[in-house]
Chain A
C-alpha cells in the first residue's frame, strides 16, 4: 500500500517557467511533509518542509502548498533553472514516529 504517491514520473519545463510537482498521501495521521532533491550519485538533499498547521511555506524560489482536506501537497519552483534538474521526492511523517514515508519521485528536467 503506497501511502505517499507521486503520480508523475517525469516533468519537463522550460527555463524561467514554473515547475509544479505534485504529491498525494492517504494517511491522515501524517502531520509533517518534506521535499527532497536528489542528483545522480548523491543522497537526497532536504529542500523544504511544511507542518500540517500551515498551508503554505516559502523559501526563495521554492514554495510548498498543503491541502489537508484533499491530502495533497505540491512544490512550486519559480523561476525554474537548469540546475533544478533532478529527481524530487516528497516524504511524509507523523510526529509520533519520525519515520519518513517517501514517494516514488518525479524526475524534473529544466530545458535551457
Chain B
C-alpha cells in the first residue's frame, strides 16, 4: 500500500499568479482534505472532498478551490496569490466513511514573493 504523495515539494510563485498543487491519496481512500500550515502554526483546514464533491470548507476565500479525481488524486488551486499564502500545504486522505483516520502527505512548501 503506497502512502500519500504530494507534488511539487517546493514552489516559488509571484504575487498575483495562480498555482496548482497535487496530491495522490492512498489507494481506496475516497476522502481527501487539504490544510494550510503557516510557519509556527498548526495546520488549518481548507476543505475536504468526498467522492469528487466538496464535503466541507474552512475559513478560506473562494480563490482556494479544489478537485478530486476518480483515480484517488486531487488538486488544490489558488488564484491571485498573496504574500500570506506562503505556507506548507498538506493533503490528507481517509478511508471511505472513517474520516477520523487521516494520513498526511509530506506537503508542498509554497513561497509567494
Contact = CB atoms under 8 A, between A and B. Distances in A.
A41 to B, nearest CB: 7
A42 B100 contact: no
Interface string A76-100: 0000000000000101010001111
Contacts, number: 54
Contacts of B90: 43-44
B77 to A, nearest CB: 20
A36 B58 CA distance: 20
Counting chain B residues whose Cβ lies within 8 A of the other chain, the interface size class is 20 to 34
A49 interface: yes
Given A43-B4, A43-B92, A44-B90, A100 B104 contact: no
Given A42-B106, A43-B105, A99-B58, A34 B100 contact: yes
| 8 smallest beta-carbon distances between A and B, as pairs | A43-B104, A102-B42, A98-B99, A102-B43, A44-B104, A104-B42, A43-B106, A43-B105
Interface of A: 4, 6, 32, 34, 36, 41-46, 49, 89, 91, 93, 97-105
Interface of B: 4, 31, 33, 35, 40-45, 48, 55-56, 58, 90, 92, 94, 99-107
30 contacts: A4-B42, A6-B42, A32-B100, A34-B100, A42-B106, A43-B4, A43-B90, A43-B92, A43-B105, A44-B104, A45-B104, A46-B102, A46-B103, A49-B100, A91-B42, A93-B100, A97-B56, A98-B48, A98-B55, A98-B56, A98-B94, A99-B33, A99-B45, A99-B58, A100-B33, A102-B35, A102-B43, A102-B44, A104-B42, A105-B42
